[in-house]
Structure formats: C-alpha cells, structure tokens
Structure 1
C-alpha cells in the first residue's frame, strides 16, 4: 500500500456514488433490531451514515443495502435526504456482505441508467456502522481516487501491540506495528477496479479493498479519523452517544458566541 497525500479538496469532475451495506443483524450489539436501525441520539445509524456522506459535499448518489423486511422503513427514513441533485436508493441485502455490496452496485448502475444521470467516476463503499464519519476522510478518499489511484482506504496507526497466534491460542509472532494500520471506511475505487474485484470474488470478504488486493492491484492509503470508529458492541454505542453529545454541545457553544 502507498500513502497518498491529499489536500482535502476533490476536483469537481463526474459524480461520486456510495454503496452503504446496512444488512447486518448486529448480534454483538444486542439491540434486538438490525444494527443499522439502532438509534444514536435520535437518528438511526443508517440515517447518520447516509446524511454524512451527502453532507460532505463529495457524494452525489447513495444506495443503502438493508434487510429485506426493512426496505419500507429505510425508504421512509431516507426520504428527507433525497433531492433533485441526490439519488438515494434502497435495496435488499444478501446473505453475506459481499452479496450486499454486489446487489448495491447492480442497483446503482440500473438506477443511474433509468434516471439518465451521468456516469460516476468514483464509487465508495461505506459501513453504516461508521455513522459518525466526518467529511474530511471522505474528501481525502475521493480526491485520491480522482488523482489516479484505483483503490484507496482511510487508515489509522495501530497503537496496541499485535500478536499472531496459532489455532491453539499460542503466540507465534509479533508483527512490527509501525507497518500496521487499522482500516476504516469509506473505501474508494475507480468503478472498473471495484467491479472487476467483485466479478472475481468467489468467497466472503469483510474488506472491499482486500478483493482488489487479490487482483494484484495496489491499494493506497489516506489518513482516517478517530470518529470513523465502527459501532459493534454496546460500549461502542455508548461511545457514539458521548461523541454526539460532545459535538452538539460544541455547536451550541459556538452558536451562542456568534449570536449573543
């Protein structure tokens, strides 16, 4: 992987589409509903994730991929985010994440064709569970793809020491953490690269860039963001509530100073 330097200002060319996998059950969160439909301070993760992509100013069209019995609910939740400039489509997910993303890509292509919208030059894949992702890493990913990278992932340095263990649970190695990175989303791709990766995918993958790696293609990195953490457990959800509360308080203080 290579580190791509970004100015944070994507060139205004073509359209950017995002597929948002949101069909997971969320068993580890233990909320009793699919994870993307769990609320974080009054808004579901799905709403926050899609709204964040559109609010970044870098994303034009979004396909949300949800459980089959949640399509109508997702349509209602996302309806306020639709506009003449933004295509927001909901479709049904598959048994595995790869199936869901593949469904999203197919629906995106068909929807753009029906609407007569110009073809996108960047495709993002963004987990709904990373619903607090701010604009900056989204912009960095988009710019890196537009500068010529076929695949780009936002990353953070690994702080903890990492151990490699065998099937019996015994340590067999200690990788140098200086060369390790924690990968986030949105991951960005040139459309032909992502489609080729999914055409060649024969099994389950939790990471879209990993499918590109299997093609022997290079994957670049840009700086991620601490707010792009994935909500998986109850403690992650509690952290998200605290982060939203802190952000809202910060905005309130700023507005109070500007409008005494």
Structure 2
C-alpha cells in the first residue's frame, strides 16, 4: 500500500505559512520538513499546500527537491486533493502533516502509516499531558483541576484511509481516531525558543550523518 503525504502550513492559523519560512540553520523550516519526509523511500508523493500569498516563496524553498514533491497553490486540503486526485492510484495511506513539525522522526511517520495499514481508519501520534491543567470560569478564577491521566497533546502526521481522509478534509475531526506514541522532537516550531531547539536538532542530525 503506497503512502501520500499532504503538508499544510495553515494547520492552526493563517500566520503559520510565514512561520514555515522561518530560517533554521540557513534553510526554511519547510525545507527541513519536506526533506525529512522525502528521506523515507516508501513515501510515493509529498504534496505541499502553499497559500497563494506564499506560493513563490514556498517554491523557492523547495526548488531542489525531486518530482516526488509537488507544490499546489491553495490552503484548503480539499482543493489540494482535487488538484492531484487523478495522479493518485490505488488505495494509499493518506498522511496530513503540519509544516511546522519539521523534525518529526521518521519512525513516527512510519508508525502512523503502519497503523493505518494494520486496520485503523484514522491515527494520531500523541504525548501524555505533562502540565497540570486548571479549569477557570468567565472571571478567570480557577474552579477545578482537570484529571490529566487521559489527556494527550496531538501531533502529526495524521494518518487516514481514503474514506476517512475525505471525511477529514470536509469536516476536520479526530474523534474516534486511534493513537500511537508521539515524540518530543515532533514539536511545532512557532517562537524564538522553539527555533533554537530546532536548530539544535538540525545540527545534531548533520553530525549523525557525518
């Protein structure tokens, strides 16, 4: 079963597109994201959703990548899927990946795809909630403590069958999804502190290659 990855730079906010272009060790965060995905030989196609206002900059950041990477202008996953649907044969695993999670380990990506192949219609990598979660009222007064035993923070890539993928792009919801273990390196890079962590991860990766 083949695998198709849709990379979106507006997973949470419209401003995520600009964040995806933030430099990490001299290259855009998006460049690191796509390079990591293309390093997996069993991924057939990486489709990058590029908001119109950033399409040229996205293309420049990914100019050196092979044909397995395709950039489609538009931020809607439905529009992006419709643009490449005719080129998708068979019944592949569909992954949706946040462009800001540039250093998600390859093993996590594989585990998500494998869980879909094993029969889970939708899959999400998660981490246990480490912080104490407080509940407040409208006046910002703490009214209780949420039991974090069953709370999880969701990461990407999200994994889907074709049917559940099409349902997700029309009405995003992860209710009922199967979970697997996420990884701390799969953090969203959104501020200066996280950029420093990303630079450290990127530098460590280069040292391992050397």
Structure 1: how far apart are the matches of 2:29 and 2:83? Answer: 22
CA apart distance, 1:89: 1.7
**Secondary structure of 1:148's partner?**
coil
Name stretches of at least 5 consecutive residues in structure 1 with no aligned partner: 1-12, 27-32, 95-99, 202-207, 253-260
CA apart distance, 1:120: 4.3
TM-score under structure 1 normalisation? 0.73
Aligned residue in 1 for 2:4:
17
**Secondary structure of 2:43's partner?**
coil
Structure 2: how far apart are the matches of 1:157 and 1:35? Answer: 26
Decide which of 139, 159, 165 is 2:130's aligned counterpart. 159
Report the number of matched residues: 207
Decide which of 164, 174, 178 is 1:193's aligned counterpart. 164
Structure 2: how far apart are the matches of 1:198 and 1:129? Answer: 19
CA apart distance, 1:238: 1.4
CA apart distance, 1:123: 0.7
Decide which of 74, 77, 85 is 1:109's aligned counterpart. 85
**Secondary structure of 2:189's partner?**
coil
Aligned residue in 2 for 1:219:
177
Equivalent runs, 1:1-260 vs 2, <5 Å: 13=1, 15-23=2-10, 24-26=14-16, 34-83=18-67, 86=68, 88-94=69-75, 100-110=76-86, 112=87, 117-199=88-170, 201=171, 208=172, 211-213=173-175, 218-252=176-210
Q: 1:57 to 1:162 in 2, by over 3 A?
A: farther
Q: Is the 8 A contact 1:21 1:93 kept in 2?
A: no
Tell me the alpha carbon deviations over residues 125-154 of structure 1, each in whole angstroms, 9 at most, x when there is no partner: 101100011101000000000111011000
CA apart distance, 1:62: 1.4
Tell me the alpha carbon deviations over residues 71-117 of structure 1, each in whole angstroms, 9 at most, x when there is no partner: 2332233232214xx2x2212234xxxxx22222222314x1xxxx5
**Secondary structure of 1:81's partner?**
coil
Name stretches of at least 5 consecutive residues in structure 2 with no aligned partner: none
Larger Rg: 1
Structure 1: how far apart are the matches of 2:184 and 2:174? Answer: 25
Structure 1: how far apart are the matches of 2:103 and 2:37? Answer: 10
TM-score under structure 2 normalisation? 0.89
Structure with greater strand share of residues = 2
